[in-house]
Amino acid sequence: MTNEASTTERAVPMRDRLIECASDLFYSEGIRAISADRIIAGVGTTKATFYRHFPTKDDLVMAYLERRADWERIALTTAAQDEDPRRVLKAISVLLADSSCQPGFRGCPFINAGAEYVEVTHPVRRLVDEQRNWWWTYFRALAIRLGTTRGKPADAVADQLLMLRDGALIAGYLGDASRVEAALSTAMNAVVAAAT
């Protein structure tokens, strides 16, 4: 059994193992609370190996957030493939509610990272802003598909949908996650209805 586990660990590249360990720890306990030494111990490697892959802890934080950004983009694109933009809106509500209902959910990792990296010029903060802009751009394009440009500007609808997304993720963490989907779907539909 031990040999099987160690063979499996060796099959996963060390860089990926470091990112996976860091992702779990950063998300569950906060980025600043986790030292490089703790990640090194969690993976069972050396400082030299860690720093060969990630010259600084911030480089590892960036890799963690980039991996999470990729996951979000793929999940949203997959969930929202429907031709009908109203069904896409519903799929987004379900995706966000499902995410917030997962065991160990602690809110949006980008909002969490933004709270820990307050300097707006820091590379981590720029990556947080980049991912939020990606969501905003997605929502703006969806607003145009929904025909909101006839009523309220698509930019304003995107702002409101992004705020609803943020609120849903916070509600899922702090409140009753089972109620998030219905409330989010209703609120998103109300934004769209008011804009068309």
Which is nearest to 166 in space by CA: 111, 120, 128, 124? 111
pLDDT in tens, 152-186: 789 999 999 999 999 888 887 777 766 888 888 88
CA dihedral 59, 20, 11, 77 (to 10 degrees): -100
pLDDT at 2: 45
Helix 57-79 and helix 109-116, axial crossing angle in degrees, nearest 10: 150
pLDDT at 179: 80
User: In percent, how much of the chain has pLDDT > 70?
Assistant: 92
Every domain of the chain and the residues it spans: 1-55, 64-195
Beta strands in 3-85 (DSSP E): none
Beta strands in the chain (DSSP E): none
Give the right CATH number for 1-55 from 3.30.70.3270, 3.30.365.10, 3.30.420.10, 1.10.10.60: 1.10.10.60
Give the right CATH number for 64-195 from 3.40.50.1110, 3.90.1150.10, 3.40.50.720, 1.10.357.10: 1.10.357.10
